[in-house]
Structure 1
Amino acid sequence: MAAAANPAAWSSERLGEPKRPVGLTVFANATIITADAGFSVAEAMAIDGDRILAVGTLEEVRAAVPDTATILDAGGRTILPGFIEPHMHFFPIAMLSRMENVGALECGSVDDVIARMGLLASQAAPGNWVMGRQFDPSLQDGPDVLTRDMLDPVTGDVPVFIFNASLHIAYCNTAALTIAGLDASTPDPDGAAFGRNADGSLNGVMQGGAAFSQVMVHNLAAMALDDVPTACKHVCDRANEVGITTFCDQATGGFQGPNELAAFKAFSESGHMTARLRYSLFDALESHWDSGDVNVSFGTGNAFARATGWKIVSDGSNQGRTGLQREPYLGREDRGLAYVAADDLKEKVTRRAKQGWQVVVHANGDQAIDNALDAFEAAFEAGAPRHMRHRIEHCSILHDEQIARIKEMNLSPSFLIGHVHYWGQAFRDEIFGPEKASLLGRAKSVQQAGIPWTMHSDEPVSEMGPLRCIENAVTRRMWKAPDHRLNGDECVTVEEAILSLTRVAAWQCHSDHEVGSLEPGKLADFVILEKDPRKVPEDEIGSIRVLETWSAGRKVFSAGVNE
């Protein structure tokens, strides 16, 4: 990974010629949704190099630019600010793509997953591990766990490791536990747990990174990237294909260590970066960040890669039943896991907020949200600045009194809207019950309270796709019960959903001065869509085609239409 900082690794010889900005160009005959303060709609826009020069009627725009401008007819199509993905995981996207996808879209049942692992184990070369990803028993038929007793009969002595889709839980067979030297005497790490049989022996289920990392450390090859520049370009290409021009890595260092910062810097300076990156340092690596060996603080970087946040993961995954709840899960006695004790969370939030960071706290369960709110309150009482747009990530199960506290403290939530779409039925019928499930992803209530909010994919938890997210927020229809909405009172308007992934997301990511709306002086980051999301049936928004994506005045993606 250290070699990724070598400029030669990012050369055009390796990655191809970088895209170049266009000259003075007017996009005419378009529906331009500017996402400005008035949500105005224009018909023309002029750009030159990486900046927007003018937006308005064609007459107004042509009057504002020289006659030498190139005029492009947009054919009546819709132009929006480039979408902003407020929460994804940069290097995990690159790494996990190499592992076998055994998620619900590929394997309908737990038995299918076991069969797939058995087949791969039978084909594995001596000494190799079999690695899987996206497993989620809340979406796949069968038991709600995957144990070593279920895997061993088909995988034998081949070590097997599978990530849950949430990345908060993992599963392995006996061969992997043996290599890691883990057994009944192994204690549970702080803020994590090993699943156990009645006799105390490990069952192969690992809850929390502090548990499953004890197995993964014995298979570092699975986490390594031989070609970091190509992997980085792949992630940008994935984003550009769905219209994303800015994304936020919310756990930097978590998978490749502090050298991720060197890769981001080299990539941003190479000319090949086609989506802007805002990133939050992963608190679990605080000893590295505090050592003095890494010189990074809020605002470190440039227009393409910049440090903005400090990410703290306070609990687990609700669908994995490790999110920390006020009351036990439906039909169970457990309330999930606190990855960070409440008093420790107060200390962490206070220290980082007083250092000038935007503090970003992952909190899924309602008790975890209580703890996060208490921590921010303690930080402000200790003199931490209130203007840093501190965030609560996922903010999944949200009560009215918590919304009031968020408003009072000027905090900002970002919702994993795929919770509603992909997992809604499971939350309603199996995990929480209808009453508590109705508190999931309360975007409309937050909107009505006057709180800025965004939504995100958390890829690789769910796939990046702003138009899919907009549809999910507008319809709240459930994947496994498409004729039903999960609490339709929380449906937002198309305009509100668009703003959450453009203007508001830019604000939340401390980038509203440069992106998030199509206004003169801002960077020329925009997307051209085949149809206007406001004018199609709500259940067709996610199917609208992205025709072109532009970053800094460069066309970085084209669907090939009219070319």
Structure 2
Amino acid sequence: MFDDSHVTANEISTQDWYALSVPPRHAADPFACPCCANVFSELLAQTGVDLADQAKHLTPRTTALENSVFVTQAKIQTMNPDQPTADAMWVVDGRIRWVGEEQDAPVEALAEHKVAAGNRTILPGFIDPHMHLAPLAMLHSFENLGPFRFPRTKDALAYLKQKSADVPAGQWLVGRQFDPSLQEGPDYLTIDLLDEVSVEHPIFIYNASLHLAYCNSAALQLAGVTADTPDPAGAEIGRDDNGQPNGVLKAGPAMALVARHNPHTKTADLAQACLDVFAHANTLGITGLCDQGTGLFQGAKELDLYQGLRDSNRMTVRFRYSLAQAVADRWDEAGCRWGEGDEWVRNTGWKIVSDGSNQGRTGLQREPFLNSDETGIAYIEREELFAAVEQRLADGWAVCVHANGDAAIDNVLDAFEAAAAKGLRADSQRCRIEHCSILHDEQIERMAALGLSPSFLIGHVYYWGQAFVQDVFGIDKASLLDRTGTCEAKGIRWTIHSDDPVTEMNPLRCIENAVTRNMWKSEAKLSPQECISTAAALRAMTIDAAWQCHSDHEVGSLEAGKFADFIVLEQDPLQVEPDALSSIAILQTWVNGELVYAAS
């Protein structure tokens, strides 16, 4: 499936990786997105971990599948407008042979193994069209100390202290998702705070952005980091007023300086961890994922990882991915082409990052941020953006461009308009704007004319909405965030996503966020005029997400000829109150006609 003649991440120097993956001035941004964080690529390079080698050692599945069934007594929402509902479905060899009313079922279906759904609601499996697999696999085994579990930092640290009593002295304690922009407490976790947790265990905690980490004195000691240790190139060791390391590490090279001494780094099986991520996704009703940044973790070796996952015959989600522009020359040397792969693993996009994050004040803006003279950062110059969009469209790629700030979106629209003037239209390849956070009316008009499709990080509204109103933009500009309602009215095809690990994947939570526009720790709604119906939100996470990922011919709706990827829910989302959508239980998840998850 993939070409082996590529340059590996281990052949790229530390300084090169930093230059490729982290724009200037970005390292000190504590609330930035992890898309361009280089900590794990740096850590793997320094410890000699090889994703391709790990993938080769996955034990393949050899057992035969039982994936022919006759599903009855169901409330099926098909997401097929020509046949929106049904109560029975016949699955043969992993594909849907027939769907409709049970009384009209083919005689042959009656001989199949029958599965009675007990009048439960069945939907196509959810598809998250924007997440990051390899970083998520690396983080999966670490303790979640984030705001959605611990709103107060002191509670997170108390939990970690309790955990320290259960593990032998000297064993590392590693945490993730610390986010001072959402957690009540200090902006940084310094030595004095972490030494109160333990001095017998090395402690290492990742900021949710993956651009910073925090460690205690035991971890610094093991790494040999002292006042005399110089800052690595492109990174910074935090220091107190006396020049002593304070436990704060900024950017990948500084973080890896300490993290590489954790023996778990070398022994962790990241290929298996990817399968574990898939299994977790199944518990949330997810049957399809799309990685938006392949290559930023360990270069072209990630393709070998994907191939190993496919060859294992143990995948429980269908996986799509976009290649990162930051390592474009590696993909060109490897001869990568759009659409390579099969129904399980497929290349469906080319990813360009044009700016940073709005909550990190690095999203590129027309006007300065609130109470500031800064307007964010362009991660790619206009001329380079124009050239990349034109070249990749000409090469047949579906181009996906990360753009959060309104000026960044201006640049993206300008680039696609310039390409369209040369006969290279965005709608011919279902091109996307990723996050597409701050949208003005005229930008929506231009998107509609170009045929561009946005995918919204809808958690911005819920988790950061109040901060956008009070601290980042003010109410007028914050009201332009994630304009699903206006795009729906304009007939623009859109989706919503988690960007996990930015927000945790959970389609029903994303759906609730889009339907209600509620804000965390607030009684107010952000731009209630942008609320959409539950039906539209369900469509966004099923057939429309499949369409964005160039997979709607095979998944995304329940109709004859498509793969039998579906979920069974305890309640019908169309019948519950909007505020209760995220609490609906996923009872079963089926992929390729096989039951891959059942609630206990």
What band does the TM-score fall into relative to the shorter chain? 0.7 to 0.9
Matching residue within 28, 33, 37 for 2:81: 37
Cα offset, 1:115, TM superposition: 7.4
Give the match for residue 378 of structure 1.
418
Matching residue within 344, 356, 381 for 1:304: 344
Matching residue within 373, 391, 394 for 2:432: 391
1:147-158 paired onto structure 2 within 5 Å? none
Distance 1:157 1:43 in 2: 59
Give the match for residue 53 of structure 2.
3
Letter in 1 for 2:374: D
Distance 2:237 2:360 in 1: 14
Give the match for residue 519 of structure 1.
559
Matching residue within 97, 117, 126 for 1:53: 97
Distance 1:104 1:550 in 2: 31
Give the match for residue 366 of structure 2.
326
CA contact (8 A) 1:35 1:517 kept: yes
**RMSD of aligned residue pairs (Cα, Å):** 3.3
Matched, 1:90 2:90: no
- Change in CA separation of 1:339 and 1:488 when aligned onto 2, cut-off 3 Å: same
Is the deviation greater in 421-430 or in 107-116? Answer: 107-116
Give the match for residue 405 of structure 1.
446
Q: Deviations over 1:505-559 (max 9, x none)?
A: 1110000110011110111111111111001111111111111111111111111
Matching residue within 302, 307, 327 for 1:285: 327
Cα offset, 1:297, TM superposition: 1.6
State the SS of the aligned residue for 2:387. helix
Distance 1:415 1:133 in 2: 24
Q: Deviations over 1:378-429 (max 9, x none)?
A: 3333443531111111111111111111111111100111111122222222
Cα offset, 1:151, TM superposition: 6.3
State the SS of the aligned residue for 1:29. strand
Distance 1:371 1:201 in 2: 43
Letter in 2 for 1:365: G
TM-score, with structure 1 as normaliser: 0.86
Letter in 1 for 2:400: V
Cα offset, 1:328, TM superposition: 2.0
Is the deviation greater in 217-226 or in 413-422? Answer: 217-226
1:236-385 paired onto structure 2 within 5 Å? 236-292=278-334, 295-385=335-425
- Change in CA separation of 1:195 and 1:227 when aligned onto 2, cut-off 3 Å: closer
Q: Deviations over 1:74-108 (max 9, x none)?
A: 11111111111111111112111233433113443
CA contact (8 A) 2:237 2:254 kept: no
Identity %: 46
Give the match for residue 226 of structure 1.
268
- Change in CA separation of 1:517 and 1:225 when aligned onto 2, cut-off 3 Å: farther
1:538-549 paired onto structure 2 within 5 Å? 538-549=578-589
- Change in CA separation of 1:137 and 1:553 when aligned onto 2, cut-off 3 Å: same
- Change in CA separation of 1:548 and 1:106 when aligned onto 2, cut-off 3 Å: closer
Distance 1:441 1:403 in 2: 11
State the SS of the aligned residue for 1:477. coil
Structure 1 consecutive aligned stretches of length 4 or more whose deviation exceeds 4 Å: 110-126, 128-131, 147-162, 171-184, 186-189, 193-206, 220-225
Cα offset, 1:343, TM superposition: 2.4
Distance 1:227 1:94 in 2: 9
- Change in CA separation of 1:149 and 1:406 when aligned onto 2, cut-off 3 Å: farther
- Change in CA separation of 1:113 and 1:546 when aligned onto 2, cut-off 3 Å: closer
CA contact (8 A) 2:71 2:89 kept: yes
State the SS of the aligned residue for 2:279. helix
Distance 1:527 1:266 in 2: 27
Matched, 1:138 2:177: no
Give the match for residue 515 of structure 2.
474
- Change in CA separation of 1:362 and 1:163 when aligned onto 2, cut-off 3 Å: farther
Give the match for residue 214 of structure 1.
253
Matched, 1:69 2:108: no
Cα offset, 1:272, TM superposition: 0.8
Structure 2 unaligned spans of 5+: 1-50
State the SS of the aligned residue for 2:287. strand
Give the match for residue 23 of structure 2.
none
Q: Deviations over 1:56-88 (max 9, x none)?
A: 11122235x354233332111111111111111
State the SS of the aligned residue for 1:77. strand
- Change in CA separation of 1:140 and 1:66 when aligned onto 2, cut-off 3 Å: closer
Letter in 2 for 1:313: V
CA contact (8 A) 1:276 1:303 kept: yes
1:94-133 paired onto structure 2 within 5 Å? 94-110=137-153, 131-133=174-176
Give the match for residue 20 of structure 1.
65
State the SS of the aligned residue for 2:468. helix
State the SS of the aligned residue for 1:376. helix
Q: Deviations over 1:479-510 (max 9, x none)?
A: 211x3211111111011001001111111000
1:185-224 paired onto structure 2 within 5 Å? 212-218=251-257, 219-220=259-260
Cα offset, 1:263, TM superposition: 1.7
Q: Deviations over 1:203-261 (max 9, x none)?
A: 9878xxxx712224434467666323421220110111111111101111222332221
CA contact (8 A) 1:19 1:556 kept: no
State the SS of the aligned residue for 2:493. coil
CA contact (8 A) 2:130 2:292 kept: yes
State the SS of the aligned residue for 2:99. strand
State the SS of the aligned residue for 1:393. strand
- Change in CA separation of 1:180 and 1:54 when aligned onto 2, cut-off 3 Å: farther
Distance 2:433 2:341 in 1: 24
- Change in CA separation of 1:113 and 1:30 when aligned onto 2, cut-off 3 Å: closer
Matched, 1:170 2:220: no
Structure 1 unaligned spans of 5+: none
Distance 1:223 1:452 in 2: 42
Give the match for residue 79 of structure 1.
122
Distance 1:34 1:342 in 2: 43
State the SS of the aligned residue for 2:390. helix
